[in-house]
Amino acid sequence: MNNITHNPEAKSAPSFAPQPDVMASNLYVPDTGVLTPESALPARVQWKKRNDQKTLTSALAGRALLGMDLYTAAPIRTGNRYPQQRNYHGYYWHSAARMQLWHESLLERSILMWLDHSEDIVAIATQPFTILFADGTEHVPDFIALHANNKQVVYDVKPLWRINDNAAEQFRKTKAVCDEVGWTYEVHTELSEPLASNLAWVQMFRHPRFYPGLASVQQLTDALTEPVSLDAIAALLPDLTLGNARAAVYHLVWERILDADLTQPLSNTSLIRKASHAND
């Protein structure tokens, strides 16, 4: 029986932008027009370094924070378990950052998974810092990430049905602080179906052990002059069993070397195409 083994070439493969219509489907855009600036600024930011989690570091929200590497911070809180708890705490293994990331809900895990697949993130921290607003309130954003293009993005995650006036005001204040620092700010809500289910399936093949090798990837991308079914592509890997070949295809979809429409139910007859820059 043939097995797909770990290959260090896996992470040297190119990555590509997600489908634009899918990428924006779960974004909530804070309305900044109603914000009273003095309610947010001046603000302070507090965090713990990953190599010194006993010391709390604090700085005024400003451009200097861009050089503080907060995307490497330790979680400033991890939460407590209690009877009849409704949110699910746990860890998600981020395939690009190569580390376990703490999350405080299944929705956070879902968005971590989506960002892992759709964005070129090189470092990320969860529950990374506390913002102390000028009005005496405070907020812990859910993530901050460093992207491959050096952009730093702060993320909040909240179900759409829970974005009330208080949450909207908090998002507006957080965006004002992010603008002051130079961070991009995004609020993510639920992923649509079947995108969420498809992503949960494909992420199971994200580990490099499913990478079929550079020669096989080149063979597949050269052969894909037009979209074909998943099983037809799997048949182009004769050295692998059908199951292992399908797993390799799913891995390449996760890595965005191959492209599938994740807004439609996935099956063995789903059309797979070469990603737009697969041979760059």
CATH number at residue 180: 3.40.1350.10
Same domain, 121 and 38: yes
Handedness of CA 110, 111, 116, 119 (dihedral sign): positive
Pick the last residue of a domain from 159, 188, 217: 188
Same domain, 146 and 266: no
Distance between CA 237 and CA 232 in Å, rounded?
A: 10
Same domain, 178 and 208: no
- DSSP letters for 101-142: EEESSHHHHHHHHHHHHHS-EEEEEES-EEEE-TTS-EE--S
Question: 124: domain range?
Answer: 26-188
Pick the last residue of a domain from 144, 169, 188: 188
DSSP helix, strand, coil percent of the chain (3-state; round to 5): 35, 25, 40
Confidence of residue 113 (pLDDT cuts 50, 70, 90): very high
Same domain, 171 and 109: yes
Kindly report, residue by residue over 6-54, the tens digit of the pLDDT.
Answer: 333 333 333 333 343 444 457 887 765 544 556 888 999 999 998 887 8
Kindly report, residue by residue over 167-177, the tens digit of the pLDDT.
Answer: 999 999 999 99
**pTM, 2 dp:** 0.84
Same domain, 223 and 155: no
Alpha helices in the chain (DSSP H): 20-23, 106-118, 165-181, 195-202, 214-223, 230-234, 242-254
Same domain, 32 and 118: yes
Distance between CA 241 and CA 81 in Å, rounded?
A: 43
* CB atoms near residue 107 (< 10 Å): 22
SS3 category, 31: coil
